[in-house]
Amino acid sequence: MTNMILPGTRKILILFTLLTFLSCKVYQKTTVDLNKTKWISGSADCKENTDQPIQVVQYNYNTWILRQNKCVNYEAPFMFLFIGHKKALLMDDGATFSEAKFPIYKTVDSLVAKWNKANNPKVELIVAHTHSHGDHTAGDGQFKNKPNTTVVGLKVEDVQSFFKIENWPQQTSKFDLGDRVMEIIPIPGHHKTCIAVYDNETKILLSGDSFYPGRLYVNDWSAFKASTQRLVDFTSTHTIAYILGNHIEMTKTPGKDYPIETTFQPDEHILPLTVKDLSLLNTTLINLGDKPVRKTLDDFIIYPTN
């Protein structure tokens, strides 16, 4: 059949292929390579630290990744902002209450304001959490009672009712930001309120404190195992660009973590983990059996808390 393509049709096909190739190139150019991103990582002497309290990395035109300065709080959590046509979703708001020390509202508000200016009409800001621990929710107070802003509550029931999840934790739910569908996957185990969040546009999967290059503190062993299996099942049916957690605690040396509460990580692990890493966590958990056991692997440490 290929011999029957007319010369004019062939020209159109070549042009179409070329345009597809070019548009892929443009898309790639505007997406940051998170395997090469250098994050602010504190100082040996925090009195000498001159970094911003919040580092802002624009991943693409409608996605931002923020990191808190380790010298403001040693947890140095990551926070994520996704904007659609109707809503903006901020996942987590940091480890510090004080707006003077940690201006998370001002930072996010200026990003959203810029977006609104360029893309009328205004989006509503939703502040949700990967889970309810204080190092990811301390900024809530800065967002409460602000115009056009909703802060999701911190109890399991709040998360369930906001995202319309009746059957917790087995059921996933879709949350549409306006031509940008996020998927919410309950993954209790580190904490009972843990969720993973998948962005169908960038293919980024947020794994919170349940899976990141560091100490995976497991509070409920059997729930953690079941959640990890469900997350693996999810990744087997979805394209995953990056798995991004909330902290970095590992060094670049396999199996070596920084001390707890360190404020200086000059040689830290990259932020992203892969589907292969997640699958390794899952098989390791299966092999460890029913009794919680601490186990150090190259890129993370399984760390039961009881």
- Given the rule CB under 5 A, which residues bind Zn ion? 133, 135, 209, 246
Q: Supply the minimum distance, in Å, between the C-beta of residue 192 and Zn ion.
A: 11
Q: Supply the minimum distance, in Å, between the C-beta of residue 210 and Zn ion.
A: 9
| Beta strands 215-218; 301-304: pairing state | parallel
Token pair for 173: 């739910």
Strands across the sheet with 215-218, in order? 215-218, 301-304, 295-296
Whose Cβ is closer to Zn ion: residue 62's or residue 96's? 96
Give 3's DSSP letter.
G
Whose Cβ is closer to Zn ion: residue 123's or residue 302's? 302
Q: Supply the minimum distance, in Å, between the C-beta of residue 291 and Zn ion.
A: 22
Token pair for 219: 């509070």
Q: Supply the minimum distance, in Å, between the C-beta of residue 246 and Zn ion.
A: 5
Q: Supply the minimum distance, in Å, between the C-beta of residue 200 and Zn ion.
A: 25
Token pair for 152: 């999701």
* C-alpha 150, offset from chain centre: 19
Half-sphere exposure of 22 (CA within 13 A, CB side): 6
Whose Cβ is closer to Zn ion: residue 228's or residue 246's? 246
Half-sphere exposure of 260 (CA within 13 A, CB side): 5
The count of other CB atoms within 10 Å of the CB of residue 271 is 22
Whose Cβ is closer to Zn ion: residue 87's or residue 190's? 190
Q: Output the CA angle 100-106-108, nearest 5 degrees.
A: 135
Whose Cβ is closer to Zn ion: residue 110's or residue 305's? 305
Q: Supply the minimum distance, in Å, between the C-beta of residue 39 and Zn ion.
A: 16
Whose Cβ is closer to Zn ion: residue 209's or residue 268's? 209
Residue with tokens 């947020």: 206
